[in-house]
Amino acid sequence: MISKDFNPFEMAQAQFDKVAEMLSLDEGTREILRNALREYQFSIPVHMDDGTVKVFRGFRVQHNDARGPSKGGIRFHPQETVDTVRALAMWMTWKCAVVGIPLGGGKGGVVCDPHNLSMREQEQICRGWVRQMTKNVGPLNDVPAPDVMTSAQHMLWMLDEYEAINGAKYPGFITGKPVGMGGSLGRTEATGYGVIFTVREALKELRIKPSETTASVQGFGNVAQYAIKLYNQMGGKVIAVSCWDQTDQISYTFKKESGIDLDELLKITDRFGGIDRAKAKELNYEILDGDAWIEQDVDILIPAALENQVRGDNASKISSKVKIIAEGANGPTTPEADKIIQEKGIFMIPDFLANAGGVTCSYFEQVQSNMNYFWEKDEVLSKLDVKMTSAFLAVSDLARKKKLYMRDAAYIISISRVAQACKDRGWV
Ligand code: NAD
């Protein structure tokens, strides 16, 4: 659960402040980077299926666009807050910078729960979001994408609305579009595969064979499913996954010591990444409490659900066997937990590096859309591998040479690049 007193933006700012100090950034640069350049908050009225009108709260935060148009997803979540969106927008700036793509950071959201909305109602929210934001987003200034509980279908409705308002075709307005409608092959796999490209490189550095490792994963949605797929292909074994149970409103961990069967579990998983508990029991999965994923005796932990999941209160339960944590989710680890993980000597692959595969592939989608020429899937994924691997190596090289925690090393690279862009533009 996301606790009420957790503020992801304060956490993102604390992470930034620490590195700003290490880099001795001047006051003006700190001020411009620790807050968003622009923020929008608005209401989206929707005529519901039952004839009533419901008003949903929408957000868009453009954290920084010194290196290129803002880029970032739009999340649908009942507990969405402007501070979550602010934090995620800031992390997007660092993410684009660490992989060296010419984009800035943005994020959007709507406070809503798609579990309880029909597809027509969701379409109205998408179109309403675009009507409110149309003057302030677009291919040259801010390019949205899918995120938690939004999909290619949501992106297509948003694109359709944007093009209807602006009277022309703008395939570069949004990414994560369906394949055949301007989408890129490989986008669905990109984030999860990207996580595993970085895990593969970390294992190489630790001189461990993937086939001799086990992993435990929090979340069983888009990122987790494709991370597990590629990790399995490399010979790794996932023994536990956890996910949210919509009926009970808590999370559970599903464990099989001999290794989960991805295809078998996918058959009993809904489109929100929720696993059917009764059916899992029939398939002989042990069903444990939601936090059990973090306590497993595995080599690799992959938090791939939500922010604020690895905290001071549960990080001490991480097994001494764990060697790598690869953050598939954004902001899963609090600064308090970071200290514990650092003391344990675990190799941390921080979120804005580990999960940068999604935005990198979104950038490829923009490139392909602009050329109106689309690459084969293998080409997309091999280009993705090159970008992720070189970003990982730059960060781990700096971490090794300067004896830094990997998160700090990644921040140093990103913040330096964005600070330089602000300076070169004459902003600071
Ligand atoms: P998703 O909606 O497809 O899946 C989320 C999963 O997390 C589901 O299985 C859900 O049951 C589970 N979950 C939710 N709350 C939980 C809890 N409290 N405990 C355990 N499990 C819980 O989302 P996704 O696209 O896979 O994204 C997951 C994370 O990765 C998010 O933090 C997102 O911002 C981040 N991310 C996603 C992408 C992308 O391309 N999809 C890119 C970068 C970062």
Top CATH class, 188-354: alpha beta
Q: By alpha-carbon position, which residue is closest to atom 15 of ligand 1?
A: 244
Q: Is the pLDDT of residue 109 over 80?
A: yes
Across the range 333-339, mean pLDDT stands at 94
Q: By alpha-carbon position, which residue is closest to atom 16 of ligand 1?
A: 244
Q: Is the pLDDT of residue 3 over 80?
A: no
Across the range 79-86, mean pLDDT stands at 95
> What is the phi/psi pair of residue 56, to 5°?
-105, 150
Percent of the chain with pLDDT over 70: 99
Q: Is the pLDDT of residue 242 over 60?
A: yes
- Which token pair is 76? 């649908």
Q: Is the pLDDT of residue 187 over 70?
A: yes
Tell me if the pTM is above 0.85: yes
Strands annotated E in 13-118: 38-47, 53-64, 70-77, 104-111
- Dihedral of CA atoms 339, 341, 344, 350 in degrees, nearest 10, equals -120
Does any ligand 1 atom lie closer than 6 A to the CB of residue 191? yes
* Amino acid occupying residue 303: P
CA dist 155 and 153 (Å) reads 5
Q: pLDDT (tens digit, 9 = 90+) per residue, 257-270? A: 999 999 999 999 99
- Cα within 13 Å of Cα(358), Cβ side: 29
Distance from the alpha carbon of residue 230 to the mean position of ligand 1, in angstroms = 17
Across the range 226-248, mean pLDDT stands at 97
Distance from the alpha carbon of residue 272 to the mean position of ligand 1, in angstroms = 9
What does the mean pLDDT of the chain come to? 96
Q: pLDDT (tens digit, 9 = 90+) per residue, 112-129? A: 999 999 999 999 999 999
pLDDT of residue 1: 40
Q: Is the pLDDT of residue 2 over 70?
A: no
pLDDT of residue 6: 79
Q: Is the pLDDT of residue 95 over 90?
A: yes
Q: pLDDT (tens digit, 9 = 90+) per residue, 190-201? A: 999 999 999 999
Ligand 1 atom nearest the C-alpha of 355 is 43
Q: Is the pLDDT of residue 27 over 70?
A: yes
pLDDT of residue 389: 98
Strands annotated E in 91-181: 104-111, 142-146
CB 209 within 8 A of CB 323: no
Q: Which of 11, 77, 113, 147 to mutate to test the pocket of ligand 1 (most atoms within 8 A of CB)?
A: 147
CB 144 within 8 A of CB 110: no
Spell 52-70 as b/e; 16+ CB within 10 A means b: eeeebebbbbbbbbbbbbb
**What would the DSSP string read from start to end of 165-209?**
HHTS--GGG-SSPPBTTTBPTTHHHHHHHHHHHHHHHHHHHTT--
300: CB partners within 8 A, 6+ apart: 199, 213, 214, 215, 216, 231, 236, 322, 323, 324, 325, 326
- Cα within 13 Å of Cα(208), Cβ side: 19
Does any ligand 1 atom lie closer than 6 A to the CB of residue 275? no
CA dist 44 and 387 (Å) reads 38
Q: pLDDT (tens digit, 9 = 90+) per residue, 125-151? A: 999 999 999 999 999 999 999 998 999
- Residue closest to 366 by CA, chosen among 130, 171, 166: 171
Coil vs helix vs strand at 104: strand
The residue annotated as part of the active site, out of 71, 95, 107, 237, is 107
Is 3.30.70.20 the CATH classification of the domain at 38-172? no
Does any ligand 1 atom lie closer than 6 A to the CB of residue 290? yes
Q: Is the pLDDT of residue 24 over 70?
A: yes
Q: By alpha-carbon position, which residue is closest to atom 1 of ligand 1?
A: 221
Distance from the alpha carbon of residue 352 to the mean position of ligand 1, in angstroms = 14
CB 240 within 8 A of CB 255: yes
51: CB partners within 8 A, 6+ apart: none
Does any ligand 1 atom lie closer than 6 A to the CB of residue 240? no
Distance from the alpha carbon of residue 273 to the mean position of ligand 1, in angstroms = 8
Per-domain residue ranges for the chain?
Answer: 38-172, 188-354
Ligand 1 atom nearest the C-alpha of 223 is 26
Q: Is the pLDDT of residue 5 over 90?
A: no
Q: Is the pLDDT of residue 4 over 90?
A: no
Query: Do 38-172 and 188-354 come out as alike in CATH topology?
Result: yes
Distance from the alpha carbon of residue 43 to the mean position of ligand 1, in angstroms = 25
pLDDT of residue 295: 98
Q: Is the pLDDT of residue 158 over 80?
A: yes
Distance from the alpha carbon of residue 222 to the mean position of ligand 1, in angstroms = 7
Ligand 1 atom nearest the C-alpha of 293 is 20
Percent of the chain with pLDDT over 90: 96
- Which token pair is 236? 């790794």
Distance from the alpha carbon of residue 307 to the mean position of ligand 1, in angstroms = 9
Q: pLDDT (tens digit, 9 = 90+) per residue, 49-75? A: 999 999 999 999 999 999 999 999 999
Does any ligand 1 atom lie closer than 6 A to the CB of residue 306? yes
Q: Is the pLDDT of residue 30 over 70?
A: yes
Q: Which of 151, 184, 216, 222 to mutate to test the pocket of ligand 1 (most atoms within 8 A of CB)?
A: 222
DSSP state of 283: T
Does any ligand 1 atom lie closer than 6 A to the CB of residue 74? no
Does any ligand 1 atom lie closer than 6 A to the CB of residue 358? yes
For the sheet containing 286-289, what is the strand order? 286-289, 250-255, 237-245, 214-218, 300-303, 324-326, 347-349
Residue with tokens 């402007």: 82
Among this protein's residues, is 107 annotated catalytic?
yes
Q: Is the pLDDT of residue 370 over 90?
A: no
